[in-house]
Amino acid sequence: QVQLVESGGGSSVQAGGSLRLACAAFGATYSTNCMGWFRQAPGKEREAVAAIDSDGSIRYKDSVKGRFTISQDNAKNTLYLQMNSLKPEDTAMYYCAADSWAPARLYCSDGRPPRYWGQGTQVTVSS
Protein backbone atom coordinates (compact mmCIF):
# COMPACT_ATOMS: atom_id res chain seq x y z
CA GLN A 1 0.00 0.00 0.00
CA VAL A 2 1.03 3.58 -0.70
CA GLN A 3 -0.22 6.61 1.18
CA LEU A 4 -0.11 10.04 -0.44
CA VAL A 5 -0.37 13.32 1.46
CA GLU A 6 -0.67 16.61 -0.40
CA SER A 7 0.25 20.04 0.92
CA GLY A 8 0.78 23.56 -0.35
CA GLY A 9 -2.75 24.61 -1.10
CA GLY A 10 -5.39 26.01 1.23
CA SER A 11 -4.88 29.72 0.78
CA SER A 12 -6.05 31.98 -2.00
CA VAL A 13 -3.56 33.36 -4.52
CA GLN A 14 -4.08 36.19 -7.00
CA ALA A 15 -4.09 35.62 -10.71
CA GLY A 16 -0.57 35.71 -12.06
CA GLY A 17 0.83 34.38 -8.82
CA SER A 18 2.65 31.16 -8.05
CA LEU A 19 2.12 28.19 -5.77
CA ARG A 20 3.99 24.95 -5.20
CA LEU A 21 2.16 21.79 -4.25
CA ALA A 22 3.90 18.84 -2.65
CA CYS A 23 2.86 15.21 -2.34
CA ALA A 24 4.67 13.04 0.18
CA ALA A 25 4.50 9.31 -0.43
CA PHE A 26 4.67 6.72 2.33
CA GLY A 27 4.66 2.94 2.40
CA ALA A 28 5.54 0.74 -0.55
CA THR A 29 6.77 3.61 -2.68
CA TYR A 30 9.19 1.27 -4.47
CA SER A 31 6.16 -0.26 -6.16
CA THR A 32 5.10 2.93 -7.91
CA ASN A 33 6.11 3.64 -11.49
CA CYS A 34 4.13 6.76 -12.20
CA MET A 35 2.95 9.75 -10.18
CA GLY A 36 0.72 12.56 -11.26
CA TRP A 37 -1.46 15.51 -10.40
CA PHE A 38 -5.17 15.70 -11.10
CA ARG A 39 -7.71 18.40 -10.35
CA GLN A 40 -11.44 18.75 -10.03
CA ALA A 41 -13.34 22.02 -10.06
CA PRO A 42 -16.88 22.29 -8.65
CA GLY A 43 -19.40 20.90 -11.09
CA LYS A 44 -16.72 19.58 -13.41
CA GLU A 45 -15.15 16.21 -14.04
CA ARG A 46 -11.74 15.35 -12.68
CA GLU A 47 -8.96 16.00 -15.15
CA ALA A 48 -5.31 15.08 -15.42
CA VAL A 49 -2.86 17.94 -15.07
CA ALA A 50 0.62 16.39 -15.23
CA ALA A 51 2.37 13.09 -14.75
CA ILE A 52 5.91 11.75 -14.47
CA ASP A 53 7.10 8.15 -14.56
CA SER A 54 10.21 6.22 -13.62
CA ASP A 55 11.63 6.58 -17.13
CA GLY A 56 11.60 10.36 -16.68
CA SER A 57 8.77 10.81 -19.16
CA ILE A 58 6.49 13.75 -18.45
CA ARG A 59 3.16 14.78 -19.83
CA TYR A 60 1.18 17.97 -19.26
CA LYS A 61 -2.35 19.03 -19.95
CA ASP A 62 -2.19 21.52 -22.81
CA SER A 63 -3.64 24.41 -20.82
CA VAL A 64 -0.86 24.23 -18.19
CA LYS A 65 2.13 23.74 -20.49
CA GLY A 66 4.71 26.45 -19.93
CA ARG A 67 3.12 27.42 -16.61
CA PHE A 68 3.26 24.26 -14.49
CA THR A 69 6.26 22.04 -13.78
CA ILE A 70 6.08 18.57 -12.29
CA SER A 71 9.12 17.18 -10.52
CA GLN A 72 10.03 14.61 -7.93
CA ASP A 73 12.65 14.15 -5.24
CA ASN A 74 13.18 10.42 -4.97
CA ALA A 75 15.31 10.76 -1.84
CA LYS A 76 12.38 12.41 -0.09
CA ASN A 77 9.67 10.36 -1.83
CA THR A 78 7.99 13.63 -2.70
CA LEU A 79 6.28 14.82 -5.86
CA TYR A 80 5.96 18.54 -6.62
CA LEU A 81 3.87 20.74 -8.86
CA GLN A 82 5.22 24.24 -9.36
CA MET A 83 2.41 26.42 -10.66
CA ASN A 84 3.24 29.82 -12.13
CA SER A 85 1.11 32.43 -13.91
CA LEU A 86 -1.94 31.05 -12.20
CA LYS A 87 -5.36 31.79 -13.67
CA PRO A 88 -8.81 31.76 -12.04
CA GLU A 89 -9.64 28.71 -14.16
CA ASP A 90 -6.90 26.80 -12.31
CA THR A 91 -9.08 26.92 -9.20
CA ALA A 92 -9.82 23.35 -8.15
CA MET A 93 -9.11 20.62 -5.66
CA TYR A 94 -5.77 19.16 -6.64
CA TYR A 95 -5.06 15.49 -6.05
CA CYS A 96 -1.84 13.52 -6.14
CA ALA A 97 -2.05 10.02 -7.56
CA ALA A 98 0.28 7.11 -8.17
CA ASP A 99 0.20 3.83 -10.00
CA SER A 100 2.33 0.74 -10.12
CA TRP A 101 2.90 0.52 -13.84
CA ALA A 102 0.79 2.79 -16.08
CA PRO A 103 3.00 5.34 -17.87
CA ALA A 104 3.09 9.13 -17.73
CA ARG A 105 1.87 9.39 -21.33
CA LEU A 106 -1.40 7.92 -20.05
CA TYR A 107 -1.34 10.06 -16.90
CA CYS A 108 -0.65 6.99 -14.75
CA SER A 109 -3.88 5.49 -16.03
CA ASP A 110 -4.51 2.60 -18.39
CA GLY A 111 -8.20 1.99 -18.79
CA ARG A 112 -8.71 2.68 -15.11
CA PRO A 113 -7.78 5.46 -12.64
CA PRO A 114 -4.42 5.40 -10.83
CA ARG A 115 -4.41 2.99 -7.92
CA TYR A 116 -3.39 5.37 -5.12
CA TRP A 117 -4.81 8.80 -4.30
CA GLY A 118 -4.21 11.54 -1.80
CA GLN A 119 -6.91 13.44 0.03
CA GLY A 120 -6.51 16.59 -2.05
CA THR A 121 -5.47 20.18 -1.45
CA GLN A 122 -7.53 23.21 -2.48
CA VAL A 123 -6.12 25.77 -4.90
CA THR A 124 -8.05 29.01 -5.24
CA VAL A 125 -6.98 31.70 -7.70
CA SER A 126 -8.71 35.06 -7.43
CA SER A 127 -9.00 37.52 -10.30
> 67-114: per-residue pLDDT in tens?
999 999 999 999 999 999 999 999 999 999 999 989 999 999 988 999
- Residue 77's contacts (CB-CB under 8 Å, 6 or more residues apart) are 24, 25, 26, 29
Structure confidence at residue 60 (pLDDT) = 98
Structure confidence at residue 57 (pLDDT) = 95
| pLDDT grade for 115, boundaries at 50, 70 and 90 | very high
> Do the beta carbons of residue 114 and residue 49 sit within 8 Å?
no
Q: Does position 63 have pLDDT exceeding 90, yes or no?
A: yes
Exposed, middle or buried, 45 (CB in 10 Å: 0-12/13-18/19+)? Answer: exposed
> 18-59: per-residue pLDDT in tens?
999 999 999 988 888 999 999 999 999 999 999 999 999 999
Structure confidence at residue 73 (pLDDT) = 94
- Residue 61's contacts (CB-CB under 8 Å, 6 or more residues apart) are 47, 48, 49, 50
The neighbour count for residue 71, using CB atoms within 10 Å, is 13
Structure confidence at residue 71 (pLDDT) = 97
CA distance linking residue 118 with residue 116, whole number of Å? 7
| pLDDT grade for 121, boundaries at 50, 70 and 90 | very high
Structure confidence at residue 110 (pLDDT) = 86
